[in-house]
């Protein structure tokens, strides 16, 4: 294995070793040309036993544009309009993966293309999604969903999973803002994108998922372990400013006191690209990394008790404090210095910040390589 390419992380595409591997390499180069990535990446071959790998990783030019793997300014540097152009979003996604020190493994080019389509889909859907934040009074469109104790929101007989999720998330078609926690909302966003891709790539797997949702909704760890890959580790974390469009990202609330308020343990978001993250409660005002950090910081300063002595967060006060902080460069830097650290482990509130070492992406979906697991 080429040690330089391993150090550079990036993408690794596997293929069975055979005499036609040069053709596979040529196809990969042609694919990178088509998507517009060739000027920014190196492409090489590696072999491990009978497995042949093609590596795509950042060249010196791309590293100079993304110092310390900071992908937040990549779209600006390259003049990309990732919020309007599917081609630009795909290019930003590939180049962000190429500069990542965490390796993205794919069993073939078809699986990489499916992953890119799902990433693009979840970004488009998250831009349309707008919800009412409520961790207890959750609601769904009644034409599609029934709530059953211990089973969650169950898909009604004859209802489409894709349509039911879109109706729940997008007021531009439903005319309503339904109630969600940020974790459930992020699951719906990822599931919708996965289901749309499976409808094209692997319809049998989509049928299995729809049957599952007619019995019991998979949530939290069950959802993660069935449909998503948690990438990154303590030994090989994502750099704090390294994100790929379509990532599901967790920001931890590092304050022990305010994290006891239900729903404010942290925040799940989708990375749009171009340095922006989803704001599921106000779609017209997506977060930057800085504004997300500042908002979470001020939860500690906005804890209140209601008439029944139940702890809550005064969100109007949070907005006021965020605006005050952003109006002062000195205060902004102070808050960012506190928050822009890797988070402590679960249950620990010491010197950590809000940044996770991991990112969530989709499991493989193609029939001959899918890693989706439904066992509930």
pTM, rounded to two decimals: 0.94
- 3-state per-residue secondary structure call for 307-328: CCCCEEECHHHHHHHHHHHHCC
The structure tokens listed for 347 are 């249950």
Compute φ and ψ for 318, nearest 5 degrees: -55, -50
Specify the number of domains making up the chain: 3
- 130 domain residue, yes or no: yes
Cβ atoms 364, 371 nearer than 8 A: yes
Ordered DSSP codes for 34-59: HHT-GGGEEEEEEEETTEEEEEEEE-
Determine the pLDDT at residue 3: 36
Determine the pLDDT at residue 16: 61
Same domain, 215 and 254: no
- 204 domain residue, yes or no: yes
Q: Which residue has the tokens 């180069």?
A: 29
State pLDDT tens for residues 140-149. Answer: 999 999 999 8
Same domain, 132 and 168: yes
Q: CB within 8 A of 248, min separation 6: which ones?
A: 122, 186, 189, 190, 228, 268, 269, 270, 359, 360, 361
- 114 domain residue, yes or no: no
Same domain, 87 and 140: no
Cβ atoms 346, 358 nearer than 8 A: no
Low-confidence ranges of the chain (pLDDT < 70): 1-8, 16-23, 376
Q: Which of 81, 99, 117 is the last residue of a domain?
A: 99
Residue 173 to residues 18, 127, 176: CA-CA distances in angstroms? 50, 14, 8
Determine the pLDDT at residue 229: 97
* Pairing verdict, β 11-16 and 104-106: parallel
- 238 domain residue, yes or no: no
Determine the pLDDT at residue 57: 97
Question: The dihedral of CA 324, 283, 85, 34: what is its sign?
Answer: positive
How crowded is residue 237: how many other Cβ atoms within 10 Å of its Cβ?
17
CA atoms in the 13 A half-sphere facing the CB of 48: 9
b (16+ CB within 10 A) / e for 315-330: eeebeebbeebeeeee
Q: Which of 228, 263, 296 is the last residue of a domain?
A: 228
Q: Which of 173, 193, 228 is the last residue of a domain?
A: 228
Determine the pLDDT at residue 7: 53
Same domain, 219 and 288: no
The structure tokens listed for 3 are 């040690």
- 236 domain residue, yes or no: no
- 150 domain residue, yes or no: yes
State pLDDT tens for residues 147-170. Answer: 998 899 999 999 999 999 999 999
Determine the pLDDT at residue 4: 40
Same domain, 95 and 141: no
Determine the pLDDT at residue 23: 62
Same domain, 253 and 352: yes
Determine the pLDDT at residue 26: 87
Same domain, 186 and 274: no
Same domain, 92 and 141: no
User: Is 36 buried (19+), middle (13-18) or exposed (0-12) by CB count in 10 A?
Assistant: middle
Closest CA to 291 of 250, 255, 231, 340: 340
- Domain hosting 59: range is 3-99
Spacing of C-alpha 315 from chain mean position = 24
Determine the pLDDT at residue 5: 42
Longest pairwise C-alpha distance within the chain: 74
Compute φ and ψ for 243, nearest 5 degrees: -140, 150
Gap between the Cα atoms of 236 and 103, Å rounded = 10
Same domain, 64 and 142: no
- 116 domain residue, yes or no: no
Same domain, 194 and 278: no
């Amino acid at each position: 294995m080429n040690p330089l390419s391993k150090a550079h992380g990036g993408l690794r595409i596997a293929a069975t070793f055979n005499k036609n591997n040069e053709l596979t390499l040529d196809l990969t180069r042609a694919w990178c040309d088509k998507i517009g990535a060739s000027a920014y990446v190196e492409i090489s071959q590696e072999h491990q036993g009978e497995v042949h790998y093609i590596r795509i990783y950042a060249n010196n030019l791309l590293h100079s544009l993304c110092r310390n793997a900071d992908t937040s300014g990549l779209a600006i540097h390259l003049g990309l309009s990732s919020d309007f152009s599917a081609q630009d979003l795909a290019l930003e996604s590939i180049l962000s993966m190429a500069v990542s020190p965490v390796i993205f493994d794919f069993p073939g080019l078809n699986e990489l293309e499916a992953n890119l389509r799902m990433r693009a889909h979840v970004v488009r859907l998250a831009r349309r999604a707008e919800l009412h934040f409520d961790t207890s009074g959750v609601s769904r469109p009644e034409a599609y969903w029934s709530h059953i104790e211990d089973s969650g929101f169950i898909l009604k007989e004859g209802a489409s999973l894709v349509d039911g999720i879109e109706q729940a998330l997008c007021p531009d078609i439903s005319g309503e803002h339904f109630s969600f926690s940020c974790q459930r909302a992020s699951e719906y966003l990822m599931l919708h994108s996965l289901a749309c891709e499976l409808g094209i790539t692997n319809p049998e797997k989509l049928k299995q998922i729809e049957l599952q949702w007619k019995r019991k909704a998979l949530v939290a760890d069950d959802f993660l372990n069935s449909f998503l890959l948690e990438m990154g580790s303590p030994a090989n974390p994502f750099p704090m400013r390294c994100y790929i469009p379509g990532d599901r990202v967790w920001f931890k609330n590092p304050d022990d006191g305010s994290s006891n308020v239900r729903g404010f343990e942290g925040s799940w978001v989708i990375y749009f690209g171009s340095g922006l993250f989803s704001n599921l409660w106000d779609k017209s005002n997506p977060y930057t990394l800085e504004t997300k950090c500042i908002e979470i910081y001020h939860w500690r300063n906005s804890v209140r008790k209601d008439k029944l002595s139940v702890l809550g967060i005064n969100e109007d006060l949070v907005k006021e404090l965020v605006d005050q902080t952003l109006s002062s460069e000195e205060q902004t830097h102070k808050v960012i210095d506190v928050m822009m650290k890797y988070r402590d482990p679960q249950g620990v509130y010491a010197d950590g910040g809000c940044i996770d070492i991991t990112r969530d992406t989709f499991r493989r979906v193609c029939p001959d390589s899918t890693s989706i697991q439904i066992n509930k």
